[in-house]
Amino acid sequence: MRQMRMTDELRSLGRSGVAEAEAADDLATLDAVRVAYLGKKGSLTAVLRGLGSLPSEERPEVGRVANEVRAELESAIDARRAELAAKALEERVAAEAVDVTLPGRRRPAGHVHLIDQVVREIVDIFVGLGYRVASGPEVELDWYNFTALNTPPDHPARSLQDTFYVKDLSGDRAAVAGESDVVLRTHTSPVQVRVMESAKPPIYIVAPGRCYRRDIPDPSHTPQFNQIEGLVVDEGITFGDLKGTLEHFVREMFGADRRTRIRPHFFGFTEPSAEVDVSCGICGGHGCRFCKGTGWLEILGCGMVDPNVFGYAGVDAERYTGFAFGMGAERIAALRHDIPDLRVFLESDVRFLRQF
Protein backbone atom coordinates (compact mmCIF):
# COMPACT_ATOMS: atom_id res chain seq x y z
CA MET A 1 0.00 0.00 0.00
CA ARG A 2 2.72 2.32 1.04
CA GLN A 3 4.80 1.12 -1.87
CA MET A 4 1.92 1.84 -4.23
CA ARG A 5 1.57 5.32 -2.89
CA MET A 6 5.29 6.02 -3.17
CA THR A 7 5.63 4.85 -6.75
CA ASP A 8 2.44 6.68 -7.82
CA GLU A 9 3.69 9.81 -6.19
CA LEU A 10 7.01 9.42 -8.02
CA ARG A 11 5.33 8.85 -11.38
CA SER A 12 3.02 11.84 -11.00
CA LEU A 13 5.97 13.97 -9.96
CA GLY A 14 7.81 12.74 -13.07
CA ARG A 15 4.84 13.57 -15.33
CA SER A 16 4.47 17.09 -14.02
CA GLY A 17 8.25 17.62 -14.28
CA VAL A 18 8.27 16.45 -17.91
CA ALA A 19 5.25 18.68 -18.67
CA GLU A 20 6.94 21.70 -17.11
CA ALA A 21 10.19 21.00 -18.98
CA GLU A 22 8.34 20.73 -22.29
CA ALA A 23 6.51 23.97 -21.60
CA ALA A 24 9.69 25.92 -20.73
CA ASP A 25 10.08 28.78 -23.20
CA ASP A 26 13.69 29.60 -22.58
CA LEU A 27 16.83 28.12 -21.05
CA ALA A 28 16.46 30.02 -17.78
CA THR A 29 12.96 28.64 -17.16
CA LEU A 30 14.14 25.15 -18.12
CA ASP A 31 16.99 25.37 -15.62
CA ALA A 32 14.56 26.47 -12.92
CA VAL A 33 12.49 23.31 -13.63
CA ARG A 34 15.64 21.17 -13.32
CA VAL A 35 16.54 22.73 -9.99
CA ALA A 36 12.95 22.40 -8.69
CA TYR A 37 12.91 18.62 -9.34
CA LEU A 38 16.48 17.39 -9.46
CA GLY A 39 18.38 20.03 -7.49
CA LYS A 40 19.68 19.48 -3.95
CA LYS A 41 16.38 20.70 -2.55
CA GLY A 42 14.34 19.39 -5.48
CA SER A 43 11.13 17.45 -4.97
CA LEU A 44 12.40 14.24 -6.63
CA THR A 45 15.60 14.44 -4.62
CA ALA A 46 13.52 14.71 -1.44
CA VAL A 47 11.64 11.50 -2.31
CA LEU A 48 14.89 9.67 -3.06
CA ARG A 49 16.25 10.83 0.24
CA GLY A 50 13.19 9.38 1.99
CA LEU A 51 14.04 5.88 0.59
CA GLY A 52 16.14 5.12 3.63
CA SER A 53 13.18 5.19 5.94
CA LEU A 54 11.29 2.57 3.88
CA PRO A 55 11.16 -1.01 4.93
CA SER A 56 13.96 -2.88 3.17
CA GLU A 57 11.65 -5.07 1.02
CA GLU A 58 10.04 -1.98 -0.53
CA ARG A 59 13.24 -0.17 -1.29
CA PRO A 60 14.31 -1.96 -4.50
CA GLU A 61 11.01 -1.37 -6.29
CA VAL A 62 10.65 2.24 -5.18
CA GLY A 63 14.32 2.88 -5.97
CA ARG A 64 13.92 1.41 -9.47
CA VAL A 65 10.88 3.61 -10.21
CA ALA A 66 12.64 6.64 -8.73
CA ASN A 67 15.66 6.11 -11.01
CA GLU A 68 13.38 5.56 -13.98
CA VAL A 69 11.49 8.77 -13.28
CA ARG A 70 14.74 10.68 -12.79
CA ALA A 71 16.11 9.34 -16.11
CA GLU A 72 12.90 10.31 -17.92
CA LEU A 73 12.93 13.78 -16.46
CA GLU A 74 16.61 14.26 -17.26
CA SER A 75 16.14 13.18 -20.84
CA ALA A 76 13.06 15.42 -21.20
CA ILE A 77 15.10 18.35 -19.90
CA ASP A 78 18.03 17.52 -22.23
CA ALA A 79 15.72 17.23 -25.21
CA ARG A 80 14.05 20.53 -24.42
CA ARG A 81 17.43 22.19 -23.94
CA ALA A 82 18.52 21.03 -27.38
CA GLU A 83 15.27 22.34 -28.87
CA LEU A 84 15.65 25.72 -27.22
CA ALA A 85 19.29 26.01 -28.29
CA ALA A 86 18.35 25.19 -31.86
CA LYS A 87 15.56 27.76 -31.75
CA ALA A 88 17.93 30.43 -30.37
CA LEU A 89 20.46 29.68 -33.09
CA GLU A 90 17.78 29.85 -35.74
CA GLU A 91 16.62 33.23 -34.46
CA ARG A 92 20.17 34.58 -34.40
CA VAL A 93 20.85 33.37 -37.90
CA ALA A 94 17.64 34.99 -39.11
CA ALA A 95 18.44 38.26 -37.34
CA GLU A 96 22.03 38.44 -38.55
CA ALA A 97 21.39 37.19 -42.05
CA VAL A 98 23.05 39.04 -44.92
CA ASP A 99 21.38 38.78 -48.26
CA VAL A 100 24.35 38.26 -50.52
CA THR A 101 22.12 38.46 -53.57
CA LEU A 102 21.25 42.14 -52.91
CA PRO A 103 22.99 44.57 -55.26
CA GLY A 104 25.82 46.58 -53.62
CA ARG A 105 25.27 50.16 -52.48
CA ARG A 106 27.06 52.39 -54.91
CA ARG A 107 28.88 55.36 -53.41
CA PRO A 108 28.84 58.36 -55.69
CA ALA A 109 32.36 58.76 -57.06
CA GLY A 110 33.60 62.34 -57.04
CA HIS A 111 35.69 63.88 -59.77
CA VAL A 112 38.24 66.61 -60.24
CA HIS A 113 36.83 70.14 -59.76
CA LEU A 114 36.29 72.04 -63.00
CA ILE A 115 38.96 74.58 -62.06
CA ASP A 116 41.56 71.87 -61.48
CA GLN A 117 40.56 70.22 -64.74
CA VAL A 118 41.15 73.50 -66.56
CA VAL A 119 44.46 74.12 -64.74
CA ARG A 120 45.68 70.65 -65.71
CA GLU A 121 44.63 71.19 -69.32
CA ILE A 122 46.48 74.51 -69.51
CA VAL A 123 49.58 73.06 -67.88
CA ASP A 124 49.47 70.10 -70.27
CA ILE A 125 49.48 72.40 -73.31
CA PHE A 126 52.70 74.07 -72.11
CA VAL A 127 54.27 70.80 -70.97
CA GLY A 128 53.67 69.71 -74.57
CA LEU A 129 55.89 72.62 -75.64
CA GLY A 130 58.66 71.49 -73.28
CA TYR A 131 57.86 73.68 -70.26
CA ARG A 132 58.37 72.44 -66.71
CA VAL A 133 56.01 73.01 -63.79
CA ALA A 134 57.17 75.27 -60.95
CA SER A 135 55.48 76.46 -57.78
CA GLY A 136 55.90 78.99 -54.99
CA PRO A 137 54.31 79.81 -51.62
CA GLU A 138 50.81 81.25 -51.30
CA VAL A 139 51.95 83.21 -48.24
CA GLU A 140 54.61 85.34 -49.87
CA LEU A 141 57.05 88.05 -48.98
CA ASP A 142 56.27 91.56 -50.07
CA TRP A 143 59.66 91.46 -51.81
CA TYR A 144 58.70 88.71 -54.26
CA ASN A 145 55.09 89.75 -54.71
CA PHE A 146 55.87 93.43 -55.42
CA THR A 147 59.35 94.88 -55.06
CA ALA A 148 61.35 92.39 -57.12
CA LEU A 149 58.59 92.61 -59.73
CA ASN A 150 59.42 96.27 -60.18
CA THR A 151 56.34 97.38 -58.24
CA PRO A 152 57.57 100.13 -55.89
CA PRO A 153 56.36 100.67 -52.29
CA ASP A 154 54.01 103.51 -53.25
CA HIS A 155 52.16 101.45 -55.86
CA PRO A 156 48.36 101.25 -55.23
CA ALA A 157 48.35 97.44 -55.58
CA ARG A 158 50.15 97.34 -52.24
CA SER A 159 47.36 99.12 -50.37
CA LEU A 160 45.39 97.42 -47.61
CA GLN A 161 42.36 97.74 -49.86
CA ASP A 162 43.85 95.44 -52.46
CA THR A 163 46.05 92.98 -50.60
CA PHE A 164 45.70 90.69 -47.60
CA TYR A 165 48.59 91.26 -45.19
CA VAL A 166 49.61 88.43 -42.89
CA LYS A 167 51.04 88.98 -39.43
CA ASP A 168 54.82 88.78 -39.81
CA LEU A 169 56.13 86.37 -37.19
CA SER A 170 59.69 86.28 -38.51
CA GLY A 171 60.72 89.05 -36.12
CA ASP A 172 62.50 91.02 -38.84
CA ARG A 173 62.05 94.79 -38.84
CA ALA A 174 61.97 95.23 -42.61
CA ALA A 175 58.26 95.95 -42.72
CA VAL A 176 57.15 98.25 -45.51
CA ALA A 177 55.71 101.58 -44.33
CA GLY A 178 55.16 100.14 -40.88
CA GLU A 179 53.11 97.25 -42.28
CA SER A 180 53.82 93.55 -42.30
CA ASP A 181 55.97 92.49 -45.25
CA VAL A 182 54.17 89.14 -45.56
CA VAL A 183 51.17 88.94 -47.90
CA LEU A 184 48.85 86.41 -49.45
CA ARG A 185 50.21 86.56 -52.96
CA THR A 186 48.07 88.65 -55.28
CA HIS A 187 49.28 86.82 -58.40
CA THR A 188 51.57 83.94 -59.37
CA SER A 189 54.21 86.31 -60.77
CA PRO A 190 56.43 86.07 -57.64
CA VAL A 191 57.19 82.50 -58.79
CA GLN A 192 59.00 84.12 -61.76
CA VAL A 193 61.52 85.71 -59.42
CA ARG A 194 61.94 82.61 -57.26
CA VAL A 195 62.59 80.45 -60.33
CA MET A 196 65.09 82.93 -61.83
CA GLU A 197 66.93 83.08 -58.50
CA SER A 198 67.32 79.34 -58.28
CA ALA A 199 67.73 78.20 -61.91
CA LYS A 200 70.00 79.22 -64.75
CA PRO A 201 68.51 80.01 -68.19
CA PRO A 202 67.22 78.56 -70.42
CA ILE A 203 64.04 78.69 -68.31
CA TYR A 204 60.69 77.48 -69.64
CA ILE A 205 58.17 77.07 -66.82
CA VAL A 206 54.49 77.31 -65.95
CA ALA A 207 53.41 77.85 -62.34
CA PRO A 208 49.77 77.19 -61.40
CA GLY A 209 48.50 78.26 -57.98
CA ARG A 210 46.01 80.06 -55.77
CA CYS A 211 46.06 83.84 -55.40
CA TYR A 212 44.21 86.25 -53.12
CA ARG A 213 42.92 89.79 -53.44
CA ARG A 214 40.70 91.91 -51.25
CA ASP A 215 37.82 91.89 -53.70
CA ILE A 216 34.15 91.85 -52.73
CA PRO A 217 32.77 88.79 -54.56
CA ASP A 218 30.71 89.68 -57.64
CA PRO A 219 30.11 87.90 -60.95
CA SER A 220 33.63 88.64 -62.18
CA HIS A 221 35.63 88.81 -58.90
CA THR A 222 36.37 86.36 -56.11
CA PRO A 223 38.81 87.03 -53.24
CA GLN A 224 40.50 83.71 -53.98
CA PHE A 225 41.28 82.51 -57.49
CA ASN A 226 43.76 80.47 -59.50
CA GLN A 227 46.37 81.70 -61.93
CA ILE A 228 48.77 80.00 -64.26
CA GLU A 229 52.02 81.90 -64.67
CA GLY A 230 54.36 81.35 -67.59
CA LEU A 231 58.00 82.38 -67.86
CA VAL A 232 60.55 81.96 -70.61
CA VAL A 233 64.13 83.22 -70.29
CA ASP A 234 66.61 82.36 -73.01
CA GLU A 235 68.95 83.96 -75.53
CA GLY A 236 67.23 85.77 -78.39
CA ILE A 237 63.62 85.53 -77.13
CA THR A 238 61.43 88.10 -78.90
CA PHE A 239 57.89 89.43 -78.73
CA GLY A 240 57.21 87.22 -81.78
CA ASP A 241 57.94 84.15 -79.65
CA LEU A 242 55.46 85.38 -77.04
CA LYS A 243 52.79 85.99 -79.66
CA GLY A 244 53.27 82.65 -81.40
CA THR A 245 53.26 80.77 -78.11
CA LEU A 246 50.04 82.36 -76.91
CA GLU A 247 48.31 81.91 -80.28
CA HIS A 248 49.17 78.23 -80.12
CA PHE A 249 47.79 78.09 -76.58
CA VAL A 250 44.49 79.75 -77.53
CA ARG A 251 43.96 77.40 -80.47
CA GLU A 252 44.62 74.36 -78.27
CA MET A 253 42.44 75.63 -75.46
CA PHE A 254 39.50 77.20 -77.29
CA GLY A 255 39.59 75.63 -80.76
CA ALA A 256 40.98 76.53 -84.18
CA ASP A 257 38.03 78.77 -85.04
CA ARG A 258 38.80 81.31 -82.30
CA ARG A 259 40.85 84.41 -83.14
CA THR A 260 43.23 86.22 -80.80
CA ARG A 261 44.20 89.83 -80.51
CA ILE A 262 46.94 91.52 -78.53
CA ARG A 263 46.36 94.96 -77.01
CA PRO A 264 48.98 97.17 -75.38
CA HIS A 265 48.67 97.30 -71.59
CA PHE A 266 50.80 98.09 -68.53
CA PHE A 267 52.40 95.80 -65.97
CA GLY A 268 55.29 96.92 -63.77
CA PHE A 269 57.28 93.78 -64.43
CA THR A 270 57.01 93.53 -68.23
CA GLU A 271 57.99 95.99 -70.94
CA PRO A 272 56.31 96.16 -73.34
CA SER A 273 53.16 94.70 -71.78
CA ALA A 274 49.98 93.46 -73.40
CA GLU A 275 46.66 91.82 -72.81
CA VAL A 276 45.37 89.01 -74.99
CA ASP A 277 41.74 88.73 -76.02
CA VAL A 278 40.04 85.76 -77.62
CA SER A 279 37.08 86.16 -79.96
CA CYS A 280 33.74 85.58 -78.23
CA GLY A 281 32.56 81.99 -78.64
CA ILE A 282 28.91 82.83 -78.13
CA CYS A 283 28.44 85.41 -80.90
CA GLY A 284 31.47 84.44 -82.98
CA GLY A 285 32.88 87.94 -82.58
CA HIS A 286 29.85 89.97 -83.69
CA GLY A 287 29.13 91.32 -80.21
CA CYS A 288 26.68 90.05 -77.61
CA ARG A 289 25.92 90.42 -73.89
CA PHE A 290 28.58 87.91 -72.86
CA CYS A 291 31.38 89.95 -74.51
CA LYS A 292 29.63 93.26 -73.68
CA GLY A 293 29.12 93.95 -77.37
CA THR A 294 32.84 93.99 -78.20
CA GLY A 295 33.18 90.54 -79.77
CA TRP A 296 36.28 89.95 -77.63
CA LEU A 297 37.01 88.44 -74.21
CA GLU A 298 40.17 89.21 -72.24
CA ILE A 299 42.02 86.09 -71.10
CA LEU A 300 45.50 87.04 -69.93
CA GLY A 301 48.23 89.59 -69.26
CA CYS A 302 51.72 89.23 -70.68
CA GLY A 303 54.84 91.01 -71.84
CA MET A 304 58.62 90.92 -72.21
CA VAL A 305 60.36 90.54 -68.85
CA ASP A 306 61.47 93.99 -67.65
CA PRO A 307 65.28 94.19 -67.39
CA ASN A 308 64.81 95.60 -63.87
CA VAL A 309 63.23 92.28 -62.84
CA PHE A 310 66.24 90.45 -64.29
CA GLY A 311 68.34 92.75 -62.14
CA TYR A 312 66.42 91.89 -58.94
CA ALA A 313 66.47 88.16 -59.75
CA GLY A 314 70.14 88.02 -60.73
CA VAL A 315 69.75 87.22 -64.45
CA ASP A 316 72.18 88.78 -66.95
CA ALA A 317 69.95 91.22 -68.85
CA GLU A 318 72.63 91.81 -71.49
CA ARG A 319 72.67 88.18 -72.49
CA TYR A 320 69.07 87.05 -71.95
CA THR A 321 65.62 88.22 -72.88
CA GLY A 322 62.34 86.60 -71.93
CA PHE A 323 58.60 86.81 -71.77
CA ALA A 324 56.01 86.13 -69.09
CA PHE A 325 52.27 85.70 -69.01
CA GLY A 326 49.61 85.15 -66.39
CA MET A 327 46.06 83.92 -66.81
CA GLY A 328 43.12 83.31 -64.50
CA ALA A 329 41.88 79.72 -64.46
CA GLU A 330 38.36 80.72 -63.34
CA ARG A 331 38.08 83.20 -66.20
CA ILE A 332 39.21 80.67 -68.75
CA ALA A 333 36.86 78.01 -67.36
CA ALA A 334 34.01 80.53 -67.52
CA LEU A 335 34.79 81.45 -71.14
CA ARG A 336 35.16 77.82 -72.11
CA HIS A 337 31.79 76.82 -70.64
CA ASP A 338 29.86 80.12 -70.92
CA ILE A 339 29.51 80.50 -67.15
CA PRO A 340 28.36 84.03 -66.32
CA ASP A 341 29.32 84.11 -62.61
CA LEU A 342 32.73 83.13 -61.18
CA ARG A 343 31.36 82.70 -57.65
CA VAL A 344 29.87 79.29 -58.52
CA PHE A 345 33.41 77.86 -58.59
CA LEU A 346 33.79 78.48 -54.87
CA GLU A 347 30.32 77.41 -53.76
CA SER A 348 30.84 73.62 -53.95
CA ASP A 349 27.29 73.10 -55.19
CA VAL A 350 27.47 69.58 -56.58
CA ARG A 351 24.50 70.21 -58.88
CA PHE A 352 26.74 72.68 -60.69
CA LEU A 353 30.03 70.81 -60.38
CA ARG A 354 28.58 67.47 -61.51
CA GLN A 355 28.06 68.89 -64.99
CA PHE A 356 31.75 69.01 -65.75
Residues lying near ligand PHE in the complex (CB under 6 A) are found at: 187, 189, 267, 270, 301-303, 324-326
Cβ-based nearer residue to ligand PHE, 24 or 228 = 228
Residue 229 CB, nearest distance to ligand PHE (Å)? Answer: 6
Residue 254 CB, nearest distance to ligand PHE (Å)? Answer: 19
- How far, in Å, CA of 344 to CA of 346, rounded? 5
Residue 333 CB, nearest distance to ligand PHE (Å)? Answer: 17
Cβ-based nearer residue to ligand PHE, 208 or 303 = 303
Cβ-based nearer residue to ligand PHE, 189 or 222 = 189
Cβ-based nearer residue to ligand PHE, 186 or 279 = 186
- How far, in Å, CA of 234 to CA of 205, rounded? 12
Cβ-based nearer residue to ligand PHE, 7 or 321 = 321
Terminal Cα distance for the chain, rounded = 100
Q: CA of 194: how far to CAs of 42, 119, 198, 203, in Å?
A: 95, 21, 6, 12
E strand intervals along the chain: 132-133, 139-141, 165-166, 182-184, 203-212, 224-234, 260-267, 270-279, 296-305, 321-328
- How far, in Å, CA of 180 to CA of 176, rounded? 7
Cβ-based nearer residue to ligand PHE, 7 or 226 = 226
What CA dihedral angle connects 218, 289, 302 and 249, to 10 degrees?
110
Residue 178 CB, nearest distance to ligand PHE (Å)? Answer: 26
Residue 217 CB, nearest distance to ligand PHE (Å)? Answer: 18
Residue 164 CB, nearest distance to ligand PHE (Å)? Answer: 15
- How far, in Å, CA of 85 to CA of 315, rounded? 87
Nearest position to ligand PHE, beta carbon: 326
Q: No. of H helices and E strands in the chain?
A: 11, 10
- How far, in Å, CA of 299 to CA of 304, rounded? 17
Nearest to 212 by CA among 233, 229, 187: 187
Cβ-based nearer residue to ligand PHE, 21 or 302 = 302
Is the alpha carbon torsion for 308, 313, 319, 321 positive or negative?
A: negative
Residue 302 CB, nearest distance to ligand PHE (Å)? Answer: 5
Nearest to 298 by CA among 332, 267, 341, 273: 332
Residue 329 CB, nearest distance to ligand PHE (Å)? Answer: 12
Cβ-based nearer residue to ligand PHE, 33 or 302 = 302
Q: Do 185 and 211 form a contact (C-beta atoms < 8 A)?
A: yes
